[in-house]
A and B are shown apart, each in its own frame.
Chain A
Amino acid sequence: MDALVNKRIKQVLKGDKDAFAEIVDLYQHRLFQVCFRMLGNRHEAEDIAQEAFVRAFINIHTFDQKRKFSTWLYRIATNLCIDRIRKKKPDYYLDAEVRGTEGLDMYSQIAASDELPEEELMKLELQERIQYEISRLPDKYRSAIVLKYMEELSLQEISEILDLPLGTVKTRIHRGREALRKQLSRQPQIF
């Protein structure tokens, strides 16, 4: 696999776009999945995953072929996702009153969109529920949990993708699991 990918990379370096299309074929589902789990939205996930491939193409001459290509690709994609999540965060004052409402400030708006009432939660199907719970994790824990359990990567690989020491990755996964445990135990059991 790695030998094949490195061969394709050499062809891309010579300007062969068809070789790059083959690389996209190999990794598109994995990359799209990470983006979807991080962003929780198919449209945005498609945009960011495509952007990740475009950046990989432009910067392919900086890729060290002794390393694993998928790690490098995941790294580009997770960085783009985290940038996107941070940009989406409201930069207005949370306690400013929302126009057209009386006594409703942004706190109540965010709380409303963040946590579904119990009866709404019951209506979610399992897959929707999984995505909902993942999306409520802080992005630091979310990226680690998604890479570990949805992409099934090793802790070592995750540490390279997120450019964090192994100990930090472990801590984030531990905290992510604890956060999910609290989220799940506060709400009706689905098991």
Chain B
Amino acid sequence: MNACPERIVHFMHEYLDGEISREHELELKSHLQSCEACQVHMHELSDVVAFVKGAAHIEAPNDFNHSVIARLPKEKSHAGVSKWLRRHPILAAAAMFLLLMSSALFTNFNDEQQFSFTKQENVVVEGETVIIPEGQVVKGDLVVRNGNVQIDGELDGNLTIINGSAYMASTANITGTSEEINEAFDWLWYKIKGGAKEVVSFFEKDEKK
């Protein structure tokens, strides 16, 4: 058998795999007719295949299915959330962003519950009311948080009231704009406007340079 070319054994395996070409098959057959050792080899290999194929089908035990289901991990409610987060990473990021943004904004709005106002000369404070007395002129802007404003004199600037209202006397005079902010959304708008104004003024400054 040592004299036989190695490819003959290779052809035997090709034959057993059912992948032998026509030429190889012809060469194998003619070789087997002349070589007893290779005939035996081929026969033994065919026996091996028959032997292994003779294995009986094995079935899983009866309770197999139940045992598998019993072994499955219990799904907790937060597992559902984490699954959702895993599947929608962009939505999750957007939701996170909105959550953080809004919480920062609302805490800002609620934190500033205390009465405060811009310090200006000639201004009188009574309780939570800022009064510009008659005949007096206040130069500059006035911002009042959580309080009211009573203007009997003159304000040479803008007036902004957050969570409060303004009482104007007939003698009152405001040279700038006047606005009252009472709701969270107004507050948001005011913040955005402030930001935009800053940006605009920044550019204006640039242009002036």
Chain A residues in the interface with B (C-beta under 8 A): 15, 17, 20-21, 24-25, 28-29, 31-33, 36-37, 42, 46, 49-51, 53-54, 57-58, 61, 126-127, 130-131, 133-134, 145, 149-150, 155, 170, 173-174, 177-178, 180-181, 184-185, 190-191
For B41, what are the chain A residues with a Cβ–Cβ distance below 8 Å?
Answer: 181
Quick one: given A21-B65, A21-B69, are A149 and B59 in contact (CB under 8 Å)?
no
Given contacts A24-B68, A33-B58, 14 further A-B contacts (CB under 8 A): A36-B58, A51-B71, A54-B73, A130-B52, A133-B51, A134-B52, A174-B10, A177-B13, A177-B16, A177-B45, A177-B48, A178-B45, A184-B47, A191-B51
The count of residues in chain B whose C-beta lies closer than 8 Å to any C-beta of chain A is 33
Do A37 and B55 form a contact, CB below 8 Å, given A54-B71, A170-B17, A181-B44?
yes
**What CA separation (Å) do A155 and B14 show in the bound complex?**
12
**Would B58 and A20 count as touching, CB distance under 8 A?**
no
Is the C-beta of B208 less than 8 angstroms from some C-beta in chain A? no
* Bitwise interface map of B from 65 to 96 toward A, beta carbon under 8 Å scored 1, else 0: 10111011101000010010000000000000
Interchain Cβ contacts within 8 Å, total number:
105
Provide the residues of chain A in CB contact with B59, threshold 8 Å.
29, 32-33
Which chain A residue has the least Cβ–Cβ distance from B68?
A53
Question: 9 nearest interchain CB pairs?
Answer: A32-B60, A174-B13, A149-B52, A33-B58, A28-B60, A180-B48, A53-B68, A181-B44, A130-B55
Residues of B within 8 A of A (CB): 10, 13, 16-17, 19, 41, 44-45, 47-49, 51-61, 64-65, 67-69, 71-73, 75, 80, 83
C-alpha spacing A17/B64, complex, angstroms: 15
